[in-house]
Amino acid sequence: MLYESCCDVARWYLGLLAIAVVSGFWAAVLPVYSASAEQPFATKTQGQPLAKDYRERRHAFLESFRRNDSSNIHAQLARLRLGLPVDDRRISESLERIRARRDCADFDMAGVIRLLYQFGDSPLLSKKAINDVRQCVLEFKYWPDEPGVDSMCTWSENHHILFSSAEYLAGQLYPDSLFTNSSQTGRQKMDRGRRRVARWLDLRYRTGFSEWLSNVYYVEDMVALVNLVDFAHDAEIAQKATMVLDLMLLDMALNHFHGTFASTHGRSYFPAKADGTRESTSSIYGLQFSLNSLGDGNMAAVALALSPKYRMPAVLQEIATDTPAELENRQRAGIRVEEAARWGLDCTRLDDGMTFLSLEAYTHPRIIDLTMRMFDRYHWWQNRFFAPFQRNRRLIEAFRSLKLLPLLIWVFERDLTRNMRPEVNIYTYRTPDYMLSSAQDYRAGYGGDQQHVWSAALGSRAIVFTTHPVSNRSESPSEWVGNGTMPRVAQVKNVLIAAYNIWTWPGLYVTHSDRYTHAWFPRSEFDETRDQGGWLLGRKGNGYVALWSQEPRHWQTEGPWKDKEVIAPGRKNIWICELGSRAQDGTFPQFVEKVSHAAITTHGLHARYRSPSQGLLEFGWTGPCRHNETPVQLHDYDRYRNPYVTAAFPADGIEVRSKNHWLRLDYGTLRRAASDFLGEPGGWTSPSQ
């Protein structure tokens, strides 16, 4: 504690000095955090539940998708599978986005790759369309070290695998052709892409995702993985991609509430956080698990529905549809920059730079010099996401020449590393009536970007969470996305305590922080609500939620958040959330009485809460979390620990078991075995060589 206090004092004085010198300089960091504000083809509406049989389900999905969305190349793939004519204009529009090297061109390229491999010899495609697609693939820029200045985001975790898999598969498809932008042969492209794909797969399997449990970006990872499963000739790459895809679907099976991916998230946006029907992953829950309803779909769901090779282990559907009285899941994801050597990474090696940037560690003190070298090498001074860097380049170069950039980052680390996503410990507790999920004690006091630290769900829209808003910004962090300052959170089963200590010292990225916290509590989505004994309480079906604020709070009474937002003024605050149900607590009035009379004492940012269900909980801004006087483990979780699977971190062998089915993955030996799989063996079409 003394060391941390001294560091804070040092940061304070150095910060004042730095601001005097570099006023406005590190506003340049802004585009880094907002770069890749892309959204995949997301679910917008809900339709009828899908059939229980997987073969029928994927056919129904493709029929629905091609009817509801003809605006992109992925919809044309659905039409091709169904034997319907394609819209050449939509294919041309995708090719134009790729040729123009617009951000998210890799989304379209994933569809182009599948079109060539799976439907390249289809009579429904004109020779001109195939030639245009082929030429586009040969001309594309697949990695930032290739010639050309552009504003594509290539560095985040999802883009990393999309670009790398596209380069690998394009080179494999045209091994002897010249890729004109890089002046490399297909074999050279395949070799370059394979190295990056292999490293990405190894880290994801063994350590999980830095964009953990993302109800947005899992979709983008999946479309790249399904392409590798279906089309990689290298058996090792195809098998490793299959295993990582299995684990992504396991993540989704373990951390959903009736088909809503309402867990904590490494990256998420407001619509998806507040409304399960607007999650990008919604249609995957419908397609793969027969949960919720059929949505409009997305590119990953299309790839899964079209896949001739990927067959999901039956155990994953059994886990996803299991409804035990209670499910407790702990898992760890991501890596720490400070442990780079453990993963074979070097903070000075240019080839490792993109791996560090996949967890968005641009401005970590150990990485900033490497990041600047990447700017020089990859022409990122001209990338529109980094435009403010160009405006301040002279000043940046001055700090570089004096070797002071790492010191500057250290001074403002809480602000400037806000979108970095190092190792996280995830805890999810679910019953048939509710789910509570959190990132345990995750980067408390640091700024946040798109991290969703905790969430309680009683329905697809009956969702409760808190944030520290940054209301003067339209990009993240903003009013509901991310946090100006992240809380310190601890969860014990159905009870969570979140302590906020808002950082008000000068910042260079987020220069203004609102001095209040607030909760999303959409009153109209609950069957009934109460306000009693300082608690806000709600019932949805047979599930109950109770929310308490240390500081006086009030409802928003006007604007779009009327009767949805609960505001608690103050720089410091503690929120407590407890969930219950008829099965656990009796009637809703009984739950209200028990919770509203529960003893709570606070001293500064430390709370003692005598929960009706869990007994005495103690937690605050510092010190351990104690449950009935016993310390609670908040860090160093296993890769997975729950009733279905226990796997060490980092993982190698993983065995998953449910009541009737099992799955065994051995990454080192590439062995994958299961009791049964969904769908039929073999595929609908063969890859076009």
Last residue of a domain, one of 333, 349, 377: 333
Question: What was the pLDDT predicted at 444?
Answer: 98
Name the domain count of the chain.
Answer: 3
**Alpha helix stretches (DSSP H) within 145-292:** 157-173, 186-207, 218-231, 235-254, 270-274, 282-289
Structural domain includes residue 642: no
Q: Helices 73-81 and 54-68: crossing angle, nearest 10°? A: 130
Structural domain includes residue 22: yes
**Residue 391 and residue 329 share a domain:** no
Structural domain includes residue 533: yes
SS3 310: coil
Per the CB < 8 A criterion, the answer to whether 444 and 487 are in contact is yes
In the predicted model, what is the mean pLDDT of residues 67-84? 86
Question: What was the pLDDT predicted at 441?
Answer: 98
**Residue 24 and residue 59 share a domain:** no
Question: What was the pLDDT predicted at 29?
Answer: 44
In the predicted model, what is the mean pLDDT of residues 500-505? 90
Per the CB < 8 A criterion, the answer to whether 579 and 436 are in contact is yes
**Contacts (Cβ under 8 Å, ≥6 apart) of 445:** 414, 485, 486, 488, 501, 503
Residue with tokens 């190295």: 195
Q: Do you find a cis peptide bond into 569, omega within 30 degrees of 0? A: no
Nearest-angstrom CA–CA distance, 439 and 452: 8
Nearest-angstrom CA–CA distance, 299 and 301: 6
pLDDT at 37 > cutoff 80: no
In the predicted model, what is the mean pLDDT of residues 601-625? 98
**Residue 614 and residue 482 share a domain:** yes
Question: What was the pLDDT predicted at 69?
Answer: 63
**Residue 388 and residue 262 share a domain:** no
Look up residue 552 and give its two tokens.
């006086």
Nearest-angstrom CA–CA distance, 621 and 493: 20
In the predicted model, what is the mean pLDDT of residues 306-333? 97
Look up residue 463 and give its two tokens.
């969702």
**Residue 62 and residue 25 share a domain:** no
More confident residue, 26 or 549: 549
pLDDT at 682 > cutoff 70: no
**Residue 412 and residue 450 share a domain:** no
Last residue of a domain, one of 314, 333, 352: 333
Q: Which of 191, 71, 74 is nearest to 143 (CA)?
A: 191
Question: What was the pLDDT predicted at 296?
Answer: 67
Question: What was the pLDDT predicted at 34?
Answer: 43
Question: What was the pLDDT predicted at 401?
Answer: 94
The pLDDT-based confidence of 20 (bands split at 50, 70, 90) is: very low
Nearest-angstrom CA–CA distance, 358 and 356: 5
Question: What was the pLDDT predicted at 16?
Answer: 46
- Among 32-36, 135-139, 438-442, which stretch is predicted with the lowest mean pLDDT? 32-36
The pLDDT-based confidence of 11 (bands split at 50, 70, 90) is: low
Question: What was the pLDDT predicted at 387?
Answer: 76
Structural domain includes residue 574: yes
In the predicted model, what is the mean pLDDT of residues 242-260? 98
In the predicted model, what is the mean pLDDT of residues 502-529? 90
**Contacts (Cβ under 8 Å, ≥6 apart) of 19:** 506, 508
pLDDT at 171 > cutoff 90: yes
Residue with tokens 């670009």: 163
Look up residue 460 and give its two tokens.
């697809």
Nearest-angstrom CA–CA distance, 399 and 403: 6
Look up residue 546 and give its two tokens.
């109770």
Nearest-angstrom CA–CA distance, 466 and 480: 9
Per the CB < 8 A criterion, the answer to whether 196 and 171 are in contact is no
For the chain, give the longest Cα–Cα distance: 75
Structural domain includes residue 20: yes
Question: What was the pLDDT predicted at 179?
Answer: 98
**Residue 238 and residue 374 share a domain:** no
pLDDT at 25 > cutoff 60: no
In the predicted model, what is the mean pLDDT of residues 302-310? 96
Residue 17 phi/psi, 5° resolution?
Answer: -65, -45
Structural domain includes residue 357: no
| Helix count and strand count (H, E) for the chain | 23, 26
Nearest-angstrom CA–CA distance, 637 and 431: 22
Local structure of residue 460 (DSSP, 8 states): S
Look up residue 119 and give its two tokens.
């439907």
The length of the chain in residues reads 689
Structural domain includes residue 166: yes
**Residue 48 and residue 21 share a domain:** no
Question: What was the pLDDT predicted at 311?
Answer: 97
- Among 51-55, 150-154, 170-174, 653-657, which stretch is predicted with the lowest mean pLDDT? 51-55
Q: Is 395 exposed, middle or buried (0-12, 13-18, 19+ CB in 10 A)?
A: middle
Check: pTM over 0.85? Answer yes or no.
yes
Last residue of a domain, one of 616, 634, 652: 634
Q: Which of 324, 322, 315, 320 is nearest to 660 (CA)?
A: 315
Question: What was the pLDDT predicted at 683?
Answer: 45
**Residue 275 and residue 391 share a domain:** no
pLDDT at 571 > cutoff 80: yes
**Contacts (Cβ under 8 Å, ≥6 apart) of 678:** 54, 288, 311, 312, 313, 314, 317
State the number of CA atoms in the 13 A half-sphere of 58 facing the CB. Answer: 23
pLDDT at 232 > cutoff 80: yes
More confident residue, 13 or 268: 268
pLDDT in tens, 333-384: 999 999 999 999 999 999 999 999 999 998 999 999 999 999 999 999 999 8
Q: For 18-51, b where at least 16 C-beta lie within 10 A, e where not — what string?
A: bbeebeebbbbbbbbbbbbbbbbbbbeebeeebe
Nearest-angstrom CA–CA distance, 15 and 4: 16
SS3 104: coil
**What domain range is 25 assigned to?**
2-33+362-416
Question: What was the pLDDT predicted at 511?
Answer: 74
Question: What was the pLDDT predicted at 315?
Answer: 98
Nearest-angstrom CA–CA distance, 111 and 133: 11
**Residue 401 and residue 294 share a domain:** no
**Residue 47 and residue 7 share a domain:** no
In the predicted model, what is the mean pLDDT of residues 606-611? 98
pLDDT at 261 > cutoff 70: yes
pLDDT in tens, 389-432: 788 888 889 999 999 999 988 888 999 899 999 999 999 999 99
Question: What was the pLDDT predicted at 679?
Answer: 82
pLDDT at 35 > cutoff 80: no
pLDDT at 213 > cutoff 60: yes
In the predicted model, what is the mean pLDDT of residues 573-581? 98
The pLDDT-based confidence of 274 (bands split at 50, 70, 90) is: very high
Question: What was the pLDDT predicted at 526?
Answer: 98
Structural domain includes residue 348: no
The pLDDT-based confidence of 110 (bands split at 50, 70, 90) is: very high
pLDDT in tens, 194-211: 999 999 999 999 999 999
Look up residue 444 and give its two tokens.
């408390």
Calculate the average pLDDT of the chain: 91
Per the CB < 8 A criterion, the answer to whether 299 and 65 are in contact is no
pLDDT in tens, 472-498: 888 889 999 999 999 999 999 999 999
Q: Which of 519, 518, 487, 480 is nearest to 502 (CA)?
A: 487
**Residue 602 and residue 559 share a domain:** yes
pLDDT at 28 > cutoff 90: no
